[in-house]
Chains A and B, each alone.
Chain A
């Protein structure tokens, strides 16, 4: 299985901050990576697919980059609605796996 490791596990930030979350794959996954946002009691919501493509309807302050084994999700200016947990997910091979999550908290 490909292991996905996110860092940090928790991030404290203020509204307006630039936030970056990293996801590392245990082997190359090319660009076959997605990012999701999850709020308590809700299903994950797709933000980014194919490493850097913004899902329709997702604010442009979200962006993704990377390829191979290292990827980042950046929120350019954190908004109150962005406090949530973020997950990466690879679909390069089977089984699909997820990162352990990064919780973005209010500082």
Chain B
């Protein structure tokens, strides 16, 4: 059973950098899957942020692409999200998830989510 667990600061200052990590257990991050970040707000609902493969390949949402970096650390079996120049609009519940298969399909495993608030 694959388990994902997000971690990182729950409060980030405006114009600062949001940094989250997703630890993967019960499976290898080098498996044939993509590793994804999704966020959720009451206003915009669920928003796909982007994904990474264990090779380091990435795909990002164009709406966030200029501010987002998603990377994988195979030695720690985890992947990370960095979002720069944050504003209040980036306040959200952030989830990490596994996108099944090399084709990056449905999200079959999710972390519990971590709330990040952007405020001074």
Contacts and interface: CB of A to CB of B under 8 A. Distances in A.
Q: Which of B48, B59, B61 has most chain A Cβ within 10 Å?
A: B48
Contacts of B107: 34, 36, 44, 46, 89
B105 A49 contact: yes
Contact of B112 (A43, A87, A94): A43
Nearest to B65: A95
Interface residues of B, number: 23
Q: Which of A42, A50, A96 has most chain B Cβ within 10 Å?
A: A96
Interface stretch (A18-26, A65-73, A97-105): A97-105
A51 to B, nearest CB: 10
B59 A91 contact: no
Size bracket, chain A contacts: 20 to 34
A44 B48 CA distance: 13
A38 to B, nearest CB: 9
B111 A32 contact: no
Contacts of A55: 106, 108
Given A55-B106, A98-B46, 10 more contacts: A34-B107, A43-B113, A46-B108, A49-B105, A50-B106, A87-B45, A91-B105, A97-B48, A100-B45, A101-B46
24 contacts: A34-B105, A34-B107, A42-B112, A43-B110, A43-B111, A44-B46, A44-B95, A44-B107, A46-B106, A49-B100, A49-B106, A55-B106, A55-B108, A87-B45, A87-B46, A91-B103, A91-B104, A94-B59, A94-B61, A95-B48, A95-B59, A95-B60, A98-B48, A99-B45
Interface of A: 1, 32, 34, 36, 42-46, 49-50, 55, 87, 89, 91, 94-101
